[in-house]
Structure 1
Amino acid sequence: MMFLIHMYKYLFIALFLCCCFGNAQEIIVLDADSGEEISNVAVYNKDKSKIALSNFDGVFNASVFTSKERITLKHIGYQEFKTTKLQLQRQGNSAYLIMKAQQLDEVVMSVSKWEQQKRDIPNRIISLDARSIAFSAPQTAADLLQNSGKVFVQKSQMGGGSPMIRGFATNRLLLSVDGVRMNNAIFRGGNVQNVISVDPFTIKNTEVIFGPGSVIYGSDAIGGVMNFYTKKPMLSQNDSLLVHGNANYRFASANMENTVHADINLGKKTWSSLTSMSYNNFQDLRMGSHGPDSYLRNTYVKTVNGIDELVENDSPKKQVPTGYDQINFMQKFLFKPNAKWDLNLGAYYTETSNYSRYDRLIRPTSDGLGLRSAEWYYGPQKWFMGNAQVQKKGNGKVYDGLKLGLAYQHFEESRINRDFQDAIRNTTKEKVDAVNFNIDLENKKIGDFRLYYGTEYIYNKVRSNGFDLNISTDEKTDAASRYPDGSTWQSLAGYVNGEYKAKPNFTIMSGLRYSHVWVDVVFDDTFFEFPFETADLSTGALTGSIGFSWFPRANLQLTLNGSTGFRAPNIDDVGKIFDSEPGSVVVPNPDLEPEYAYNAEIGIQRNINDKIILKGAAYYTYLVDALVRRDFSYNGVSEIEYGGELSNVQAIQNAAKAYVYGFEFGLEAYLTEQWSLSSNITFTEGVEEEDDGSETPARHAAPTFGDFHIVWKNQRLRTDLFLNYNGEIAYDDLAVSEQSKEYIYATDENGNPFAPSWYTLNFRSQYDVTNRFKVTASLENLTDQRYRTYSSGIVAPGLNIILGVGYHF
């Protein structure tokens, strides 16, 4: 019924347009892949005596051209297209342009917070636009990154996803949304799931910087930076009210996903509004049929009338319990009184239901006959951000562009766990209030030299409490909190970054930043007798970068970049108390310094006749004073009782060095207008060096991974047959912390845990029924493989059928 309603609506709009345009002089220019309107397309005849330009809605007036006159449509990002007005009228007053094989003139924002040509940037950076995101149909933003084929993602549970980039992860990667950092004072060294708070339906573009980004982004940006830019409200180009929006539905069979999304844009000439909402419902995830039997969920804990029982799983391939719900809301306003000023206001809210930490629920008891936990789940993960950004373009005395940003964020998370047949359920709850203030300026007045500079202030306040609940008596008692309640983390920084075009084919970029960080903690000795009362850290770090982009020939690019990065200790490092693994407890350590990284990388890119694009990069990163978890002496003892168990004492310490190196290769081949190939492969090796000189494998060095795609497309249909691949990590190459997690790994011939190699064969497609109505269909893991990605607790989906529909109005 809804389909018929939409079709009738579309037919009504078509009839209305025909009536309005009369003799069909209005032509709309669309992207051949996505169907999106393309603005600023130049349209001209042979001698350029007649010229038209497509407006914001992709429409140009063709009345200046005769019916059979040869005309050319040209846009910087698309292949040139020649046709006649008559031909365009015959195909529904529409022109479809095909994106260029390689856009060396692509604009990126992440490296300086201002628009720059990608060809001038020495850093390796990838960009994922709304077109490719919609085609891959990711369930979460973590899946969006993984689908790129260039970022490895770990999952402890279905409600999560922790990216790994160049051997670093969690609090050594920086995550930002619309220029505001999401990293807060309790981002941990263990896997971080905050990326799922970003709604894929709202993303206009995602840019990932590989390697340190501390010059612009400060602390935590050691391994890379992930920037999510959400869609902006659109203004009307005339006096009428602009109304348009989207409605989407998606289903996936592996976890019986049901997702609905809707957004609507209202715009006038000087103001506009964008409202977006999404709802996801995921049931328990089904794993594949072919793989290690040790991955099966043969038993699980069921609680009946307050009594825990270990019961048989009727469907061992179903991972019980893994399902959860999530809601995402975004509201944006844009006010543009004139060409110089923009005021953007945004409100973002995300909330999940409770979701189980699956890797903790499958931990066996010491005798291997049962399961350790009856319950282990996260409470609702909540994120709110209010973001105000003012931008001015114009002729200031010391700038050509000015951005002022003020953002407030509120984070909530909690952990609830109870051991098997234990009446005590422990809960810890954390809340973080974060304020970010930024001033960023751009100066383009110095000839071939462009200057970017600014300052940033960040304030985080942590609230944390804990309690125990007796599920038999409903008696509630206070318990130790995860973090010291009332702790604060502050940072003040200034930076300068310059771009100098020494020659048309040679660009140099360099920058410096100084950051100072303050940590203030007061320890509560109600539950533990701490040998200290406070932790007052005041640390600073100077970081820098220098690199160049050189085109010795028009079709060959060479880049070289050297940079440094740092991560200052946060509240999680200084003041956390938690059980890191069975038999171990992490205690606070107030004597910490920042860790510091030195990075060098080289890249090459070759364009062969706009048909074949070859890309390669190699890098080496050295980390000193690494903040790592190691054995520790607490009040003169190495073991304490925690949670009723005698546990080995550990703490975060500046106790190691580390080095990571790797290679990244990419291929794009455009065989015909319909057929193309692409492939990526990433190799990473990481080692941690102890103070005594011993070496162990780095925990977050991902296995070799890659993909291979065969794409066919025309103006309406796009298909992609692709292979995903992960290499093996043998027992001796596993990090020590991973070797103890036998329950999530397969077993080799010697009885030792290891991460097997795996592959999946997949197919996805998208068909444009009309310019406004799209249908997507995908088959993931066609051979129904049973596999775990490295370090993941949850087993990946088996054969997965994904169906989606989308309507743009």
Structure 2
Amino acid sequence: MRKIGFVLSFILFSSIVWGQEVSILDAETGMSVSNVAIYNKDKSRTAISDFEGKSNLEAFSRNEKVTFKHISYETYVTTKAQISKRGNRVYLYLKPEELQEVVMSVSKWEQQKKHVPQKIASIDARSIAFNNPQTAADLLQSTGKVFVQKSQLGGGSPMIRGFATNRLLLSVDGVRMNNAIFRGGNIQNVISIDPFTIRNTEVIFGPGSVIYGSDAIGGVMNFYTQRPSFSFTDSLALSGNVNYRFSSANNENTTHVDFNLGQKKWASYTSFTYNSFGDLVMGKHGPDSYLRNNFVVRRDGTDVLVENDDARKQVTSGYDQLNFLQKITYRPNNRWNYDLGLIYSETSDYSRYDRLIRPNSEGDGLRSAEWFYGPQKWFMGNLQITKKGKNRFYDGVKLTTAYQHFVESRNERLFQEALRFTTKEKVDALSVNLDFENKKIGDLRLYYGAEYVFNKVNSEGSQKDVETNQTVPAASRYPDGATWQTFAGYVNGEYQIKPNFTLLSGARYSQVWVDAQFESDFFPFPFDEADIITGALTGSMGFSWFPSANLQVTLNGSTGFRAPNIDDVGKVFDSEPGSVVVPNPDLEPEYAYNADIGIRKNFDDKVVIRGAAYYTYLVDALVRRDFTFNGQSEIEYNGELSNVQAIQNAAKAYVYGFEFGLDAFFDEHWSFNSNLTLTEGIEEDDDGVDSAARHAAPTFADVHLIWQNQKLKADFFLNYNGEIGFRDLALSERSKAFIYAADSNGNPFAPSWYTLNLRSQYQISNALRATISLENMTNQRYRTYSSGIVAPGTNLILGLGYAF
């Protein structure tokens, strides 16, 4: 009997070690994949997976390369030894073209993208890893469809269809990031989102107020972070990634690590990223006026203007950043899902670069000795409970609760002045969303829900004498303790009239409350409070039509709104040297009316052409205009006599534009894609005076030629921005001549520019990946429109990633 037991044990051991039965599974679902072809390099040894996704690798040697190939999946190459280490399992990923692409942004539930009339741009985790962006702002810019402005290196303010800042909405994992102090000027909150943790980004072009409420006028940017992965076995599954990136233009050093722990019913995902960015170096070839010829240092208690040894180096533009993400998912069965997410981001102090290069009134020096933001901090705790399953009123319900805490500050000291003025803001934001999915009424699929958001603003001001180190209170930027809240309900319907014709329509009503108490300790306000109660009704209707299988036509009409927030109602700040913005409690929402049409033509899966045209009309626009304060048109602010301005419903605006795209697939290795965006915008004030819209971006385009095989992907591409001449420059931009080039008449304008770039990624092994990119190969010196900081010169980017 012992001999029989030994023989059986030997046979079993041999079958495991030498035969090595392998299970081939879908990486997303864990389901078995049948009919997978398995072969070695010269195809002298082959196998195929059975109905249960299993196959025996007995014919293959332990360390030879084994290829797994399926018509619907990405080809995968490994060895028997590696398969053994991973529990005799091989996970395959669906090819992108095999996916029926779904989007989450339009209804907060999965919808077929082909049924949605709005234009939506998506970028997944694999594309993000290939682009390897420094920040989430750079990620948006890499799509070729979103324009990004930068006042400093630690920034990035997206512009979409002529709108920006508080007329665009940011959302993370279904939670709105816009808060009560999002301003009309350029904002940098998007850099708080870590690109390493994003699994998918979706950008909606045009109003999205039906689902997202206030601020969603020009578009919505949704960031969905990584989800924890469950184990497909009874044992604990551990996986993770370690990444390093270096960029030569700003001496960047970035380190990232994440790891996933998974069981069948629960899973955990943890991520850390640390960025260190040095001073950014601009290109060689371009306007000399962009050079950083001098800067201010403080020596022996005195501000001194010193010459910059390297005028291309943008001194004091560098900063550091830390990001942390923790997500835990519990799935007791197929109907219930509990998701907890914790996100924290913090920067170091970082300079507002455009303020540090502003010349003084005499033109022989610099105006500011210091102008920097204090650490930008953001925390979000998000609990989401999802239930799926048929019910009388829904097929799916999702409860999302979130708490966010924002911290930011501004610090300014004029050249050779002792007083540094500081304002510090904190915002606490609570939100509750209840969203339902119902697809029980024939071909009508309904989405409906409610939202409540509450924001409280704490603001304080101080001034410090840098010579005596004495600090005393000063005017705050906002009324301390001010609140902003909204309650809304919405319904959205998708009706498939015919298999080739889908109608999408929806409506939302939002009620908004603003309450701010004004103290007269520093300014004799002519009012004690701002108490605004206002409502807004918005709607949308559009269709997606396929006249033929390879032709899609979309048409969409929608409205959007933005209710006044605390920044509009109660702000006191210097909008620019010599001007001060004061509170205005008499404000109403602004409304946008939009129409757009799109077309997409597919030529035999070889060439795809995309085009869209849109028109948006904005009424009661909240804009900054001259104002009086206690009957005075000028008051003293931070020691300087300043012109008085305020946010007012004092303008109309219209924006129109065209968007084009072309994708071509030459063979399995070569492909081509390009994008072109043209935008025109006009603002008209109450006096009928027209001027260019500030956030209408110049014509911009990108062209990509891509080659790839199983291991290597290379992208040679061109980025282009058109010129904005002096006559087409917004009035507010003309006053910032120091950030623009001068035309032949000495007037400021934004020159056109282009860059040539090469990006590549090589899969060294199943676990090790390297990226090498060379940006701005011809070393152009340029500024993107309205930006304070000059873009990088030639930039070598090296990245290394290891997956375990």
Q: Give the TM-score, by structure 1 length.
A: 0.92
Q: Distance in 2 between matches of 1:201 and 1:19?
A: 41
Establish whether residue 617 from structure 1 lines up as the match of residue 608 from structure 2. no
Residue among 360, 371, 387 paired with 1:392: 387
Q: Report the CA distance shift for 1:473/1:711 in structure 2 as closer, same or farther (over 3 A).
A: same
Residue by residue, what CA displacement relative to the aligned partner does 1:625-652 show, whole Å, maximum 9, x if unpaired? 0000000011111111111111110000
Q: Distance in 1 between matches of 2:467 and 2:14?
A: 72
Q: CA deviation at 1:100?
A: 4.8
Q: Distance in 1 between matches of 2:49 and 2:436?
A: 36
User: Hey, what does 2:533 align to over in structure 1?
Assistant: 538
Q: Distance in 2 between matches of 1:25 and 1:380?
A: 55
Mapped contact 1:44–1:71 kept (Cα < 8 A): no
User: Hey, what does 2:704 align to over in structure 1?
Assistant: 709
Residue among 137, 142, 152 paired with 2:137: 142
Q: Give the letter aligned to residue 798 of structure 1.
A: G
Mapped contact 1:43–1:72 kept (Cα < 8 A): no
Residue among 1, 18, 21 paired with 1:25: 21
User: Hey, what does 1:364 align to over in structure 2?
Assistant: 359
User: Hey, what does 1:470 align to over in structure 2?
Assistant: 465
Mapped contact 2:698–2:785 kept (Cα < 8 A): yes
Mapped contact 2:214–2:560 kept (Cα < 8 A): yes
User: Hey, what does 2:55 align to over in structure 1?
Assistant: 62
Q: Secondary structure at the match of 1:315?
A: coil
Matches within 5 A, 1:50-449: 60-63=53-56, 73-75=70-72, 99-100=95-96, 105-449=100-444
Q: Report the CA distance shift for 1:474/1:123 in structure 2 as closer, same or farther (over 3 A).
A: same
Q: Give the letter aligned to residue 35 of structure 2.
A: Y
Q: CA deviation at 1:573?
A: 0.1
Q: Secondary structure at the match of 2:35?
A: strand
Q: Report the CA distance shift for 1:350/1:285 in structure 2 as closer, same or farther (over 3 A).
A: same
Of 215-224 and 637-646, the range deviating more from structure 2: 637-646
Q: Distance in 2 between matches of 1:620 and 1:175?
A: 22
Q: Give the letter aligned to residue 281 of structure 2.
A: R
Mapped contact 1:29–1:97 kept (Cα < 8 A): no
Q: Secondary structure at the match of 1:771?
A: coil
Q: Give the letter aligned to residue 237 of structure 1.
A: F
Consecutive unaligned residues in structure 2, runs of 5 or more: 1-12, 38-47, 61-66
Q: CA deviation at 1:62?
A: 2.3
Residue among 470, 473, 479 paired with 1:484: 479
Residue among 692, 698, 712 paired with 2:687: 692
Q: Distance in 1 between matches of 2:380 and 2:321?
A: 17
Q: CA deviation at 1:63?
A: 4.9
Establish whether residue 631 from structure 1 lines up as the match of residue 621 from structure 2. no
Q: CA deviation at 1:587?
A: 0.3
Q: Distance in 2 between matches of 1:39 and 1:788?
A: 48
Establish whether residue 674 from structure 1 lines up as the match of residue 665 from structure 2. no
Q: Secondary structure at the match of 1:776?
A: strand
Q: Distance in 1 between matches of 2:16 and 2:735?
A: 71
Mapped contact 1:101–1:670 kept (Cα < 8 A): no
Q: Distance in 1 between matches of 2:16 and 2:139?
A: 41
Q: Give the letter aligned to residue 689 of structure 1.
A: E
Q: Distance in 2 between matches of 1:441 and 1:143?
A: 34
Residue by residue, what CA displacement relative to the aligned partner does 1:718-760 show, whole Å, maximum 9, x if unpaired? 0000000000000010000000001100000000000000000
Consecutive unaligned residues in structure 1, runs of 5 or more: 1-16, 31-35, 55-59
Q: Give the letter aligned to residue 62 of structure 1.
A: S
Q: Give the letter aligned to residue 54 of structure 2.
A: N
Q: Report the CA distance shift for 1:752/1:82 in structure 2 as closer, same or farther (over 3 A).
A: closer
User: Hey, what does 1:683 align to over in structure 2?
Assistant: 678
Q: Distance in 1 between matches of 2:784 and 2:51?
A: 49
Q: CA deviation at 1:771?
A: 1.2
Q: Give the letter aligned to residue 794 of structure 1.
A: I
Mapped contact 2:34–2:54 kept (Cα < 8 A): no
Q: Report the CA distance shift for 1:532/1:555 in structure 2 as closer, same or farther (over 3 A).
A: same
Q: Give the letter aligned to residue 183 of structure 1.
A: N
User: Hey, what does 2:771 align to over in structure 1?
Assistant: 776
User: Hey, what does 2:35 align to over in structure 1?
Assistant: 44
Of 512-521 and 640-649, the range deviating more from structure 2: 640-649
User: Hey, what does 1:657 align to over in structure 2?
Assistant: 652
Q: RMSD between aligned alpha carbons?
A: 2.4
Q: Give the letter aligned to residue 73 of structure 1.
A: H
Q: Secondary structure at the match of 1:145?
A: helix
Mapped contact 1:101–1:611 kept (Cα < 8 A): no
Q: CA deviation at 1:44?
A: 3.4
Q: Secondary structure at the match of 1:132?
A: helix
Q: Distance in 2 between matches of 1:525 and 1:194?
A: 31
Q: Report the CA distance shift for 1:484/1:679 in structure 2 as closer, same or farther (over 3 A).
A: same
Mapped contact 2:421–2:638 kept (Cα < 8 A): no
Q: Secondary structure at the match of 1:43?
A: coil
Q: CA deviation at 1:24?
A: 3.8
Q: Give the letter aligned to residue 99 of structure 1.
A: K
Establish whether residue 599 from structure 1 lines up as the match of residue 594 from structure 2. yes
Q: Distance in 2 between matches of 1:337 and 1:74?
A: 34
Q: Secondary structure at the match of 2:360?
A: coil
Q: Secondary structure at the match of 2:489?
A: strand
Q: Report the CA distance shift for 1:368/1:340 in structure 2 as closer, same or farther (over 3 A).
A: same
Q: Distance in 2 between matches of 1:590 and 1:524?
A: 14
Mapped contact 1:24–1:93 kept (Cα < 8 A): no
Q: CA deviation at 1:692?
A: 1.6
Q: Distance in 2 between matches of 1:45 and 1:466?
A: 66
Off by >6 Å, runs of 4+ in structure 1: 64-67, 92-98
Q: CA deviation at 1:43?
A: 2.3
Mapped contact 2:24–2:49 kept (Cα < 8 A): no
Q: CA deviation at 1:110?
A: 0.5
Q: Distance in 1 between matches of 2:563 and 2:574?
A: 23
Percentage identity across paired residues of the two chains: 66
Q: Distance in 2 between matches of 1:631 and 1:762?
A: 45
Q: CA deviation at 1:446?
A: 1.1
Mapped contact 2:250–2:279 kept (Cα < 8 A): yes
Mapped contact 2:28–2:93 kept (Cα < 8 A): no
Q: Secondary structure at the match of 1:44?
A: coil
Q: Give the letter aligned to residue 670 of structure 2.
A: W
Residue by residue, what CA displacement relative to the aligned partner does 1:100-151 show, whole Å, maximum 9, x if unpaired? 5585x20110000000000000000011000110001100000000011110
Mapped contact 1:722–1:761 kept (Cα < 8 A): yes
Mapped contact 2:18–2:58 kept (Cα < 8 A): no
Q: Distance in 1 between matches of 2:572 and 2:407?
A: 18
